[in-house]
Amino acid sequence: MHKTGWGWTLALLAGCSSSSQAPLATAPPSTIVLTNADFEAPAGANSEIPGWQSSQHAGPLSYKFEIDHTTHAAGAASLRIERTREQVYGMIAQEVPIAAYAGRTIELSAQMKTADVGPAGWELMLTFSGGVANARRQAKPLSGTQDFQKIAIRTQVPAGAQNLEIAALLNDRGTAWIDDVQLHTVD
Ligand SMILES: [Ca+2]
């Protein structure tokens, strides 16, 4: 009976020991999954982009958002935004839960391209929700006419952050593209 008891205890200890040496079971994966981040999903019946919300500053509809099958940085399609009348900004955005990554450093990146975009540019931005201070990070906007290039923002997830909004904003005239959006931890 003693022997059985010890065997059971040792087995438990061995189990504890091996699980404590393994990577933390609760550690989130290094890639944070986004929806339709490569813009390969076909647009919906009303031109909506699956996984993404399009919006603009105010006023009458001033932007065209389309899946572009002739221009892409990866796969066979990208998202194109075109300003059709003067307006402050038009944007696409997607929100993901981020609380599990508090304290981790993350990198948001995307392939971005411009055609005749004004100086205020085509901008990658992220915003933490949850009432955290300094919740916003913005990459340097692209302007003029530039081919696809990787734009990235690296930042630490603040304690208390609940969600992360990923956005791309066209702050000026012109046409712009985004493709291959990625979000991952770097530490
Ligand atoms: Ca693509």
Residue 109 C-alpha to ligand 1 middle, in angstroms?
A: 14
Instruction: Give the least confident one: 10-19, 84-93, 170-179.
Output: 10-19
Residue 176 Cα, ligand 1 centroid: separation in angstroms?
14
CA of 62 to the centre of ligand 1 (A): 24
Query: For residue 69, how far is its CA from the centre of ligand 1 (angstroms)?
Result: 9
Question: What is the structure's pLDDT at 107?
Answer: 97
CA of 159 to the centre of ligand 1 (A): 33
14 CA → ligand 1 middle, Å = 47
pTM of the model as a whole: 0.83
Average pLDDT over residues 3-17: 43
Dihedral sign from CA coordinates of 119, 124, 129, 133: negative
How close is the Cα of 182 to the center of ligand 1, in Å? 12
Binning pLDDT at 50, 70 and 90, where does residue 19 land? Answer: very low
Model confidence pLDDT, tens digit, residues 34-82: 999 999 999 988 889 999 999 999 999 999 999 999 999 999 999 999 9
Alpha-helical runs (H) found in the chain: 2-21
95 or 24, which is more confident? 95
Q: Which residue(s) pair with 48 in the sheet?
A: none
Distance from the alpha carbon of residue 102 to the mean position of ligand 1, in angstroms: 29
Residue 33 confidence (pLDDT) above 50: yes
Q: Is 79 within 8 Å of 67 (Cβ atoms)?
A: yes
Q: By the 8 A CB rule, do 70 and 130 touch?
A: no
pLDDT for 12 beyond 50: no
Q: Where are the domains of the chain?
A: 27-185
Distance 40 CA to ligand 1 centre (A): 5
> Which region holds residue 174: left if phi is over 0, alpha if psi is between -120 and 50, else beta?
left
What distance in angstroms lies between residue 25's CA and the mean position of ligand 1's atoms? 32
Mean pLDDT of 153-157: 97
Q: Which CATH architecture has domain 27-185?
A: Sandwich (2.60)
